[in-house]
Structure 1
């Protein structure tokens, strides 16, 4: 069986690469063209290749039996997912907050969050669920702390069920509904702080928790002189 993995996440690349080294399966790793800088060393070493999934759709169809999308920023074409079995590793609990940055929106809208491994279809984060698990979110969590726990859970589900995923020995569960979807535009609309917007302290803290994801600078307001001022929150639970 010929396998490929498309990822734009360095953490996931390292985990998957080490995992497949311990198996007899041969897999080719690809990243998006935008990942050239992130994966510069790996590309030079020949362990990962840059690939535009739309331009190389026929290549993937003709040469592979199974593909994994592990935090890939490219949308797989309809023709690809209809001709090659493709599985997505998604950092959200489908059908809640499908799309971009599920943990951010979960902290804001209080919908459940977790990890989902699902078959891919022509819609984003939409196919039949194969494996899924929810995590608990605490009042002291930030986007970063939730995301880190989701990553660990994703890999746990992937690693524990790898053989079943490859051979197709799993139960497929339809999503109960289409849930909600958040685009990158929805996220970008959250970034600028309206300094005159009336909110409760709970809403303000929840917003800053959702926007705090070091080393990235996300939430900002415009100072009187027009300069952007970034804001994050330092939040910590007291250990008793």
Structure 2
């Protein structure tokens, strides 16, 4: 029986938590969602800490308690897009999208990699669409990899410190404010708008004539039927 303390709060975290609870080989001792709950790990001393969607940095004295490892599931293809909003930056910067299971250390998303999975993107993707795709990939990667972790049949790979990227919450907040007078290439603007489109949340906004307007976008890939309809419309004039 493998003893676990689970750290998490988001949707895919709940999916993985429930999946672990259903495994006969796993005993989830606690699910913690706030940093002031971490002291309980001193009493439990589990084999593993598993973090999925825990937004707080876990201090070194807690990470040292598990007898095996502390692992985190991050929705980016590390070392790219460490930190916040990893569903946004691949659409803006063209960095690889994906998910990574890694060992936790004293900084966000910098520990040795256990397993990774690339996630493809399209120009029609929005931030919400990519977020959903990354959630599914996280669940798939974790459930495929966990049996190997239980059996101690994994190899760790160091991250390349010379590559990658990191984004803080302030980077996302700054991205949301559109300057009505700024000139941008069309694709650059579209990439920014689609990355920020995440209904029902209002992210991108622009102030015009003293009023604030929120902006979402939808991009559709053309099909043969679309082209036929367009040609028919043009021929009617």
Query: With structure 2 as the length reference, what TM-score do the two structures score?
Result: 0.85
Correspondence 1:164 to 2:165: no
Q: 1:52-98 CA distances to partner (integer Å, 9 max, x unpaired)? A: 32x34332133122111111122211221233321100000000111
Correspondence 1:188 to 2:188: no
| Correspondence for 2:235 | none
| Inter-partner Cα distance in structure 2 for 1:31 and 1:57 | 7
| Correspondence for 1:79 | 61
| Inter-partner Cα distance in structure 2 for 1:155 and 1:134 | 13
The CA RMSD measured in Å over matched residues stands at 1.8
Superposed displacement of residue 110, structure 1 = 0.8
| Inter-partner Cα distance in structure 2 for 1:188 and 1:28 | 37
Runs of at least 5 residues in structure 1 that lack an aligned partner in the other structure: 33-51
Query: With structure 1 as the length reference, what TM-score do the two structures score?
Result: 0.84
| Inter-partner Cα distance in structure 1 for 2:4 and 2:12 | 19
Q: Is the 8 A contact 1:82 1:121 kept in 2?
A: no
**Cα distance change of structure 1 residues 14 and 135 upon mapping to structure 2, 3 Å threshold:** closer
| Correspondence for 1:23 | 24
Q: 1:141-179 CA distances to partner (integer Å, 9 max, x unpaired)? A: 111111211111111111112122234321000012252
| Inter-partner Cα distance in structure 1 for 2:99 and 2:12 | 16
| Inter-partner Cα distance in structure 2 for 1:223 and 1:25 | 56
Count of matched residue positions in the alignment of Structure 1 and Structure 2: 219
Q: 1:20-75 CA distances to partner (integer Å, 9 max, x unpaired)? A: 3143311145353xxxxxxxxxxxxxxxxxxx32x343321331221111111222
Runs of at least 5 residues in structure 2 that lack an aligned partner in the other structure: 225-237
Q: How does 1:83-98 map to 2 (within 5 A)?
A: 83-84=65-66, 85-98=69-82
| Inter-partner Cα distance in structure 2 for 1:153 and 1:14 | 12
* Bigger radius of gyration: 2
Choose which of 43, 57, 64 in structure 1 pairs with 2:38: 57
